[in-house]
Amino acid sequence: MKADEPLKSLIKEIGHFIGGKHVSGGSGRFGDVFNPTEGRVTARVALASKIDAEAAIANAQAAFPDWSNTSPLTRARVMFRFKELIEKNMEELALMISSEHGKVLSDAKGSIQRGLEVVEFACGIPHLLKGEFSDSVSAGMDVFSMRQALGVCAGITPFNFPAMVPMWMFPMAIACGNTFVLKPSEKDPSCPMRLAELLLEAGAPPGVLNVLNGDKEAVDTLLTSQQVKAVSFVGSTPIARYVFATASLNGKRVQSMGGAKNHMIVMPDADIDSATEALMGAAYGSAGERCMSISVAVPVGERTGNQLIEAMAPRVRALKIGSSVDSASEMGPLVTQVHRDKVKGYVDLGVKEGASLVVDGRGYRQQDKPNGFFLGGSLFDNVNRDMRIYKEEIFGPVLSVLRARNFEEAIALPNEHEFGNGVAIFTRDGDVARNFAQKVQCGMVGINVPIPVPLSFHSFGGWKNSMFGDMNQHGPEGVRFYTRVKTVTARWREGVAPKADFGMPLSR
């Protein structure tokens, strides 16, 4: 037996979940799944062929007629049971996420909870699908509307939230009467597969939710299939733009969420301690691998900037970095070595561009996990708007401080940036806060809230190059996205039939 054979025997194989069953797929292609803390391969995931993708779509298509004709009340009851099963299996799901993504357990559980809130919202689908009714708009005539399911819907989701982002999509789509094909990230596929098992256990018929693991071949099949009626995507802006263009060209409804460069403005009247604590969690939580992470702090005034750097630097140096499953860890590793090295390269670039590297996380080593994909937190000061570390999404534990002289200069930064996902301001002045909320050009705004992700009964979505499409994720916008309106005009008249009217129909 070769030395590495015992390790190979521990590597599990992950296929697809199609028609209520685990299937291996027929492509013969696989991707490696890592444990980022250990820096070793723990699984192989099948990368779907076009035939595999078409099988998932066909199963969803076959399940659609019966599921769409199932009453909204029955669908809601499935969602209630699904909610209970997620709560029951919370620890298992969180461990899957931490082991394959690298985020700490508290963050993993929090992300599941935020996804669970969308399931809770979907439990109200009988009310959410109610249409409108107008009585007696004309003699013996009523008008009413109904919202009906689209058909097969698809979701393409990123590695950083393998539970939350899928749950932003498929519970709403399925509660509305659609069937769904989920293409999660191949970097951390175990949790989405488990969610599909739990939905089946909750009473959803086979084929209502299918999980298709894969890469571009699977994605392109979903984007071009005539059976897929709507596509939801979360990921980087170049791919978001590609998904939107390709799916739209093929006649689909699309919501495509892209990248971000989220600013947090710190006004001179802000409590520096509160702003510092907010920035620590918002910039370094989940190792910065969040589309709503704060990656740019904008202190207003020289004194505010100096105070903020003085408060932040020791906190960043003291970050508790360690195993993702250690309850003492504040920050775990990054998802892969390739991504870790890419983020490290941005720190190199910032130094080259002339920014002041106040805290350098490049040399961090985890003594008991030498092969893990760890990186310390980095803090830059004196960043300017021409630097690439300001312009581009880094998606790692790197915070740039770009100082502004006044409020007008500060608000111009997010307004003129190509991304418009989220933004925040810390201030005690209500006039400034209201003015900021009215004028800032971003889709989600926080006032003394660093990560303003809306709750499930509101909708999530950015502006500018952070989103392509017209309708946001979850909340009321989610219901509208996953349904289409049918308006019925009905006349019930006693007596003699009216004569033909060749003019424009008018209300009388």
Give the largest CA-CA distance in the chain.
93
SS (H, E, C) 120-144: HHHCCHHHHCCCCEEEEEECCEEEE
Q: Identify the H or E element spanning 170.
A: helix 164-175
Q: Are 324 and 333 in contact (CB under 8 A)?
A: yes
What is the C-alpha R_g of the chain? 25
Does residue 153 carry a catalytic annotation?
no
CA distance to 110, 119, 163, 226, 370, per residue, from 113 (Å): 5, 10, 9, 34, 32
Q: Identify the H or E element spanning 230.
A: strand 228-234
Residue of 153, 176, 291, 442 marked active site: 291
Q: What is the DSSP secondary structure assignment for residue 285, as one 8-state letter?
A: G
Q: Are 287 and 323 in contact (CB under 8 A)?
A: no
Q: Identify the H or E element spanning 58.
A: helix 50-68
SS3 state of residue 354: coil
User: Which residues contact residue 350 at a Cβ distance below 8 angstroms, ignoring those fewer than 6 apart?
Assistant: 357, 378, 380, 383, 387, 389, 398, 400
Q: Which residues are catalytic?
A: 291
